[in-house]
Amino acid sequence: MATAANSVYLDAIAAKLGIDEVVGTRSSWHDDHLIAKIDGENCYGSAKRDMLAAYLETNRLSRGKTDIRFYSDHISDRPTFEWADEQVAVNPSPKLRELASRRSWSIILWE
């Protein structure tokens, strides 16, 4: 799972969903106390794509041999959509719906 959600709650949600690997916005800690500072990049926009690429590299996964299916609802994820092999716009925002239609990406409406 890759999301801009904060690791303070992201890891717990992923565990409940049975997801072992997450790429997300990390929190900063000082003396075992959470502080109001992001550790690294906010996993948003082009940073999300870059963080996913770094994850692949760190885990020795070849981008050319890895099939990436990407789901999102927002146009801010355009860089990752364009990087992915399969794009799925889920309950898309109006701007994403328009882009997905132009690019012939899958559009799914979950109710």
pTM, to two decimals: 0.88
CATH 3.40.50.1000 in the chain, residue ranges: 1-66
Write the CATH number of the domain with boundaries 1-66.
3.40.50.1000
CA distance 89 to 72: 5
Asked if pLDDT for residue 106 goes beyond 90, the answer is: yes
Asked if pLDDT for residue 7 goes beyond 90, the answer is: no
pLDDT tens by residue, 68-97: 999 999 999 999 999 999 999 999 999 999
Decide if 87 contacts 81 (C-beta within 8 A). yes
pLDDT band with cut points at 50, 70 and 90 for residue 100: very high
pLDDT tens by residue, 19-45: 999 999 998 889 999 888 889 999 999
> Distances from the Cα of 4 to the Cαs of 16, 17, 70, 97, in angstroms?
18, 17, 14, 20
Decide if 38 contacts 25 (C-beta within 8 A). yes
